[in-house]
Structure 1
Amino acid sequence: MATSHQASGVQAGRLSAEQITENFSDLHPAYDAHEAAVAADRCYFCYDAPCTTACPTDIDIPMFLREIQTGHPEAAARTILSQNILGGMCARVCPTETLCEEVCVRETAEGKPVEIGRLQRFATDTLMASGVHPFTRADSTGKKIAIVGAGPAGLSAAHRLAMLGHDVVIYEPKPKSGGLNEFGIASYKSTENFAAREVEWLMQIGGITVEHGQGLGRGLTLDGLKADHDAVFLSIGLAGVNALRAAGEDKDGVRDAVDFISELRQADDLRTLPVGRDVVVIGGGMTAVDAAVQSKLLGAENVTIAYRRDRSAMGASGFEQDLAASKGVKLMFNVQPVAVHGNGAAAEIELEYTSSTGGSLTGTGETVRIAADQIFKAIGQTLEGAPEGLEIEGRKIKVDDAGRTSVAGVWAGGDCASGGEDLTVTAVAEGRDAAMDIHSSLMG
C-alpha cells in the first residue's frame, strides 16, 4: 500500500512546520473586548428580530448583543447557552452567512451584517475562560436515560436532561466524544482542541457519564437499552458513505472525505499526513469544501472540486465557495465521475458533463480527463446501524416534531433523524427539544 502511495504521488511532508502552522491558524480570529463592543453596537435591536427567527436554536440575538454592548459578555453567554449549549462550536462552524447574518437588517441595507457568529464566540469563550458553568442541576428525579452517540444532538440532549435532574448515560462507539465537532470539522474552524474542551465544560453540569467504545451492535441492543433505562435517545449520525458508482473507484488513492478530515483532526503532526499532488474532490457540500481546502493547505499543488450540478445547487454556502476559491481550489460544475484511471493507483479521473432539465440530471456523453492521484468522495453519507423495528423515512429514522420515533420510549435526533438540515446547530436544537419531550413524558 505504501509503495503505491508513493508511486501515485500521495506523500507526507510537502510543507514546513511553519507553513502548516500558518495555513491551519484560526479562520476567524477572536474579537477582543473593545472590538466586540464596537461590533455589537452596529445592531439596530430590531423589535421583530429576523436574526432570531433565522436561528435554528432560537437564540435571542438582540438580547445577547445588547449584553455585549453594555459590557456583560458572561450574561450574553448565558442567553446564548440557555438555547444552544454548544454555542461556542456553533459560533465557529455555523453557516451564519445563510442564517442569522443573511437576514440582518444591516446586511439588507449595507451589505455588511452584524458579525453575529464572531460575537457569539466572544461571549461564549469569555464565559468558558472564567471556568464558570452557568447552569445548576435540579434535584434528582431518579430517572435514567440512555443516549447513543456523543455528537451535538446527544450532548445537547444529555445536558438538558441532566439539568432537569435525570441521570444520563451516553454510549459512544468512538474513543472521544464530540461527534462531527471532534472528527468532521475542518481544523482551521476549530483550533486549540476546542471541541474536546467544550465537551469537558458541558459535563460540569453533573449527572452525565460516558461509556466510550460502546454503541448499537457493539454490545448494545435497543431492547436491552429500553429494559435498563426509562427512555432512549438515538443520535447515531450517518456512518456510511455513498458509493461513487464509477469504474475504478477501488483504486489506491480513492477514499472517503470524512475519513481524511477525521484523520487530519486527530493527527498530532499534520506534516505526517499524506496528500496528493493532484487532488479531486467529488461533491458540493461543506465536507467537499473542507476536504479540498485542507488538501491545499497541506501542500497539494492542484485541487479541484467536481460537482454534478450548477453553482446555485451547491450545498456549500457562497462564503464556503469563495473560501475554497481564495485558497486556490478550482471549482468545476455540471460534471460527474465515470471512471478512475491508473495502474493500481489513481492517476486520472474521467468526468462526464451533465445537463439538468426539469430537475432531472442527465449525462451529455462528453467527457474530460484530469490528473488525480488522490480522489475524495464527499457525496453524502448514509444511515448505518439503525435498530430493526424503527420506521425509516427517506433513508433516515422517522421522527415527529418532538423527536419521537415509531417505537414507544425511543427518541432520535441529529443527522440520523428525518427533518431538519444536517447542521450542528440543527442537531443541537433537536437534541434539546427531544430532551424536553422526554422530560414531559417521564414526569407526566
Structure 2
Amino acid sequence: MDVPADIAPRRLSPREYEANFEDATPPLSRKQALIEAARCYYCYDAPCMEACPTGIDIPSFIKKIAGDNVKGSAVTILEENVMGGMCARVCPTEILCEQACVRTAQEHKPVAIGALQRYATDWLFERGIQPFQRAAPTGRKVAVVGAGPAGLSCAHRLAMHGHEVTVFEAREKPGGLNEYGIAAYKVTNDFAQREVDFILSMGGITIEHGKALGRDVTLAELRAGYGAVFLGLGHNAVNALRIEGEELDGVVNAVDFIAALRQAPDKSALPVGRRIVVIGGGNTAIDVATQSKRLGAEDVTIVYRRRPDAMSATGAEQEWAQTNGVRIKHWAQPRRVIGAGGHVREVEFEYTVLDEAGRLAGTGELFRIPADMVFKAIGQCFVPAAAGDAELAELLEFRPDGRFAVNEDRQTSLPNVFAGGDCVPGIDLTVSAVQDGKVAAEAIHRLLGAS
C-alpha cells in the first residue's frame, strides 16, 4: 500500500475547533448543586471517604453546600487536597468515591461528588479567596524537585508549616501532568495555572524554572544545602513498542502530542492525520484518540491486546471515546509498522487470546489497519538513569520496576530524602500524587523537629 500520508492542520472550521475544545463537563449551577447535595445521606462511616486517596471529608463538604456554606465546603476539600479543583475535573470518581457511594447500590446513580467538589472549589477560586495562612517562619529550608502535583502538594504543606521551600522545575511552566498531560477539553480556561497561582499565593514557595536534576543541580548539592529533599520526578520515559517500523515518521509518543496540544495557542494549527491508530488501553490512549478526532481526524482506532475490562482506562472513559467516534478494537497486538517513503502507511496486528494458563498469546492470524499517524500509548515509566543524576542510582534504593523504594512516610533509603507521585509505587493518579506530597511534607516537618 503506497498512499501518501495525509497529515494537515485546519481540517475544521474555527467554530468547530472552539466547540470541540470547550469544557466537556460544564459546572453545576447553584440550583443544581443544592439539589444534588440534598441527595447525600451524610453517612457516619462514609465509604466514599475511605475510597478517596486524600481522605477528604466528603459528607461534610456536601452538607455545607446543602447549607449554602460554599466557602466552608471548599476549605474542607482543600485542607486535605490542595488540588481539589483539578481532581474534581480529572479524578476517575466512578471507580473511587462515587463507586463507593451508598446511592450507587440503591439507585445505580451515586451522588455527583466530583461535580459538587468542582462547584465548591470553583466558587472559592473565582472570588480570589486564600483560606490558608503560613505558620511563623521556622528558618528551615526544603528542596522540592518537580513542580507537578506531588511536588506542589508537598511544597504547599511545608510552606503552611512555616518552612521555606524552593521548587526546582525543568520545564517552563509548573503543574506537571496537570499542565502537560491532561486532555484540553477536561481542563479549560488555563485552570492548571490558576490552581498553581492559588497554591503559590500563600507564600513561602519559590519555583526555579529550567532547573533539571543532574544537569543544573545534583541530589548531593540539595542534601547539603537543604534540611530535606522531596523528589516528585513523575514519569520520565515512554514504553517502546519494540517492533519493526517504530522509527518511521508519523509514529509518535501520545504524551508528546497531548503536551503539544495543551500548549498550542491555536489548536487548528496542529497537524493531525486523517487516519489514526492508537496502541494502548489507558487514559492516555483515550485522550489522544478523542482529541485527534476533535482535531479533525476522520478514522480513529484504539487497538488493545486484551478484553475491555482489562483496560486501565475506566468504562466511563472508554464510553466517552466511543461516543466521540473512536473505535476500540480489543484482542490484538502490534506486530510491525509498515511504511513507504519513510512514513507510516499501515500497522500490522495479530489477534490475541488467553491460553489455558491465562496468559496472553498470539493466534498467528494477522490483519492491517491503514494509518497516517500512529500514537504509542502503552504506558510510561520511571528510569533512574534518565533522571540525569548518576548519584540517584548510587545513593537510593529502587524497586524492580525502577521506582523509588519508600516507606509509609514516602521516605527513601536516605533519611532526609523523600519521594512521591509517579516515581514511587502506587496508582498513577493526580489525587494519589497529591496525597504522597502531603504525607511526605508532614514527615519532613517532623524530621526537621519543628513544632
Q: Same fold (TM over 0.5)?
A: yes
Letter in 2 for 1:268: P
Shift of 1:215: 1.7
SS of aligned partner of 2:63: helix
Letter in 2 for 1:404: Q
CA offsets 1:310-365 (integer angstroms, 9 cap, x no match): 11110000000000010010001111111111211011000111122334222111
Q: Distance in 1 between matches of 2:345 and 2:216?
A: 42
Measure how far apart 1:239 and its partner are. Answer: 1.4
Distance in 2, matches of 1:79 and 1:205, equals: 17
User: Could you give the per-residue CA deviations for residues 90-147 of structure 1, whole angstroms, max 9, x where no partner exists?
Assistant: 0000000110001111111111111000100000000111111111000011110000
- Residue 156 (structure 1) aligned with residue 153 (structure 2): yes
- Choose which of 20, 35, 41 in structure 2 pairs with 1:38: 35
Q: Any conservation in 2 of the 1:173–1:218 contact (CA below 8 Å)? A: no
- Asked whether the 8 Å contact 1:309–1:334 carries over to 2, the reply is yes
Pairwise CA distance, 1:243: 0.7
Aligned counterpart, 1:375 = 374
CA-to-aligned-CA distance 1:276-306 (integer Å, 9 cap, x gap): 1110111100000000000000010010111
Root-mean-square deviation (CA), in Å? 1.0
Q: Verify: 1:258 aligned to 2:249, yes or no.
A: no
Shift of 1:408: 2.3
Match among 349, 352, 362 for residue 350 of structure 2: 352
User: Aligned partners of 1:274, 1:335: CA distance in 2, in Å?
Assistant: 28
Please report how far the alpha carbon of residue 309 of structure 1 lies from its aligned counterpart in structure 2 after TM superposition: 1.2
In 1, Cα distance between equivalents of 2:237 and 2:358: 26
| Letter paired with 2:407 | D
Report the residue type matching 2:427 in the other structure. Answer: E
Give unpaired runs (5+ residues) of structure 1.
1-5
- Shift of residue 27, structure 1, vs aligned partner: 1.2
User: Whole-Å Cα distance in 2 between the matches of residues 333 and 169 of structure 1?
Assistant: 46
1:431 corresponding residue in structure 2: 437
Return the match for 2:428 from 399, 422, 428. 422
Contact 1:284 1:378 in 2 (8 A): yes
In structure 2, stretches of 5+ residues that fail to align are none
Q: Aligned with 2:201: secondary structure?
A: helix
The one-letter amino acid paired with 1:356 is L
Q: Which one-letter code corresponds to 2:182 in the other structure?
A: I
Equivalent residue, structure 2, for 1:317: 314
Corresponding residue of 1:133: 130
> Shift in Å at residue 443 of structure 1?
1.0
Which of 5, 10, 15 does residue 7 from structure 2 map onto?
10
- Alpha-carbon deviation of 1:80? 0.2
TM-score normalized with structure 2 length: 0.96
Q: What is the TM-score when the length of structure 1 is the normalising length? A: 0.97
The count of residues paired between Structure 1 and Structure 2 equals 438
Letter aligned with residue 425 of structure 1: V
How much has 1:18 moved relative to structure 2? 0.3
Residues of 2 paired with 1:150 and 1:156: CA distance? Answer: 9
Counterpart position of 1:403: 410
Letter in 1 for 2:416: G
Is 1:228 the counterpart of 2:225? The answer is yes
- Distance apart, 1:7 and its partner CA: 3.9
Q: Output the amino acid matched with 2:436.
A: E
Secondary structure of residue in 2 paired with 1:391: coil
Alignment of 1:75-114 (within 5 A): 75-114=72-111
Answering whether residue 342 of structure 2 is matched by residue 336 of structure 1, we say no
> Aligned letter for 1:331?
I
2:57 aligns to what?
A: 60
Counterpart pick for 2:240 among 217, 239, 243? 243
Aligned positions of 1:154-233 closer than 5 A: 154-233=151-230
